[in-house]
Amino acid sequence: MSEGIRLYESQGAVLHAKTAVIDGVWSTVGSSNLDYRSFLHNDEVNAIVLGQEFAGLMETQFRRDIEAAKPVLLEKWRDRPVVDKVIQTLSRWIDEWL
């Protein structure tokens, strides 16, 4: 939070789409992650939509999602259980095979 970044964790079911709106007119919805695995190994696709109306709908849904989500606090994340830290570290080592 010291850099002004806020993280939220969705509660319940989630849509596994990645979305973005830029300048209130350029929108994207799809399955692509911004990582080497998505670009090199996975078959991913995104739709790009130009238009203020669609961008407005996307931004409205994003606000609803944030209202229903739980904030992730840095202090609490740093104090997460050791087992979680170990699992997260190990999964980074083997992520290419997952």
pTM score, two decimals? 0.71
What b-and-e string marks burial along 28-58, b requiring 16 or more CB atoms within 10 Å of the CB? bbeeeeeeeeeeeeeeeeeeeeeeeeebeeb
> 15: which DSSP letter?
-
How many Å apart are CA 8 and CA 96, to the nearest integer? 26
Amino acid 21: pLDDT: 97
Q: What is the pLDDT of residues 6-34, one digit of tens each?
A: 999 998 888 888 999 999 999 999 988 87
For the chain, give every domain's residue range. 7-72
